[in-house]
Structure 1
Amino acid sequence: MPSIKHLLNEQLALIAQSLTSPQRLEILEYLSQAERSVDELSQLVSLSVANTSHHLQVLKQAALVTVRHVGEKRFYKLTGNDITNLISSFRNTAEIHLTEVERLMQSYLNKKDTLEAIDAQELLERSKCNEVTILDIRPKEEFNSGHLPNAINILPDEINERINNLKKNKEIIAYCRGPYCLYAYDAIKALRDQGFRAKRLEYGFPEWKAAGHPVQQNLIQGE
């Protein structure tokens, strides 16, 4: 008869196996921003609805996502903020131990921002003193589902046309989907080119929320 340790490890392996697909990791990233329908996820990850549904069933079996039905539509969301923490830990381990991840980070991310990023605690303190303007550089539906308090939403392709509406007397802190999301990097470059003081938040909205920091919400997805 298998030992209790063996049985527990089998359950742990179920979660580990569910993370072996880059498509499923991408699905989890999108779900960390907002609840989404199967059709939405299918378009975002460039897979057929059938393939997307299959990946979601694997994630559901591992208890990483949950589903609700609205008529014939199915909406998926993460089962908890701990899933975001799991992916963050997974990512951090890869950054430390996989040479190719380090190379990609150096080539595509680190060189984009030569200034030190601001961490969540510093942003909380500075926002309480009204010292910064916070920009959320994500699509509107993700912003509506949840965002940092008092953040201004500017879509990724609108930064140049809306830049004149921002005040230069405050430093601007921009964030997007997470540490690998390029929206914030691009926004900061555009802002600095126009003479603004700008930095990025060290991580993105999912990590902020998972840490238990305050979040504002404009609407409930799918309602």
Structure 2
Amino acid sequence: MGDRSRKGALFAEFAAVGKVLGNPKRLEILDLLAQGPRSVEDLAAAAALGMSTCSAHLQTLREAGLVGSRREGKRIFYSLAGDDVAGLWEYLRRVAQAHRPHTEVARRAYLGPEDSDAVDTDELLRRIRSGDAVILDVRPEVEYAGGHLPGAIHIPLEELTDRLAELPTDREIVAYCRGQYCVLAYEAVRQLNARGLDARRATDGLLEWRLAGLPVETGAV
């Protein structure tokens, strides 16, 4: 039958990970770290957290073994402990989407209606290889530098309306961002279409791209 107390100790280890995941802000931090390593300062700003609160969340995630850290001078950079942590985050979202009806209500309230003409990953791969579309990354600079789709043009969403002249007009634009639940690409496509440009959204973002083992380039423009 096995030792009940030892079984309890084992399941307590599993529960410790579940407990850490039971906080929306810590999940947001994992979502950001799935894009690549980030400093505490960057994470706090991106997640709209105070420095001390963000540091406390990171310490909790590190104690649970989900993130690691390194120091560069006076700055500390955090990263996911492995691709399996990114996979855990992605699978948690899938389970919520499949089994919690309000998840879809919340998704639509945040992202807006589903666009039926979004470009799936197979089609996006074909377009990258053929060069018949402009691949547009609308994430912040630090995320683009940490990893982006091959050949992607980078224009952060907040700069998009001021930099439209940098986009070719003879090809369709496919915008992508962090992942399936990232609002940046949705907003980019709405802005581009409102200005008469031919633009569609990629169904997947960098999170799904990496988990699928597809090629990723690093470095800033």
Q: How far apart in 1 are the matches of 2:45 and 2:108?
A: 30
Partner of 1:41: 43
What is aligned with 1:211? 212
The residue aligned with 1:55 is 57
Distance 2:119 2:32 in 1: 23
Q: Is the 8 A contact 2:110 2:183 kept in 1?
A: no
Equivalent position of 2:67 in the other structure:
65
Structure 2: distance between partners of 1:154 and 1:38: 23
Work out the CA distance in 2 between the residues paired with 1:162 and 1:71.
35
Q: Distance in 1 between matches of 2:153 and 2:31?
A: 22
Per-residue CA shift, 1:188-220, capped at 9, x if unaligned?
Answer: 11222233322111121122112111011116x
Give the distance between the partners of 1:59 and 1:31, measured in 2 at CA: 11
Query: Percent identity among equivalent residues?
Result: 39
Unaligned runs of 5+ in 2: none
Secondary structure at 1:157 match in 2: helix
Q: 2:179 touches 2:204 (CA, 8 Å); kept in 1?
A: yes
CA–CA separation in structure 2 for the residues paired with 1:115 and 1:46:
31
Give the structure-1-normalised TM-score: 0.88
Q: For the residues of structure 1 that align with 2:73 and 2:122, how far apart are their CA atoms?
A: 42
Contact 1:146-1:216 within 8 A present in 2 as well: yes
Distance 2:167 2:44 in 1: 35
Give the CA deviation at 1:77: 0.4
Contact 1:115–1:199, Cα closer than 8 Å, also in 2:
no
The CA deviation string for residues 161-186 of structure 1, in whole angstroms up to 9 with x for no partner, is 22233223222110112222221111
Q: Runs of 5+ in structure 1 lacking a partner? A: none
Which of residues 8, 11, 15 in structure 2 aligns to 1:9? 11
- Stretches of 4+ aligned residues off by more than 3 angstroms: 1-8
Aligned to 2:106: 104
Q: Give the equivalent residue in structure 1 for 2:171.
A: 170
Which sits farther off after the overlay, 125-134 or 100-109? Answer: 100-109
Residue 11 of structure 1 deviates from its aligned partner by: 2.2
* 8 Å contact kept, 1:148–1:214: yes
CA separation of 1:165 and 1:43: change in aligned 2, threshold 3 A: closer
Structure 2 distance, partners of 1:51, 1:162, is: 35
SS of match in other structure, 1:67: strand
Q: Give the whole-Å Cα distance in 2 for the aligned partners of 1:212 and 1:70.
A: 29
Does the CA contact (< 8 Å) of 2:137 and 2:177 recur in 1? Answer: yes
Matches of residues 129-140 of structure 1 in structure 2 within 5 Å?
129-140=130-141
Query: RMSD value over aligned CA atoms?
Result: 1.9
Deviation at 1:156, TM superposition (A): 0.8
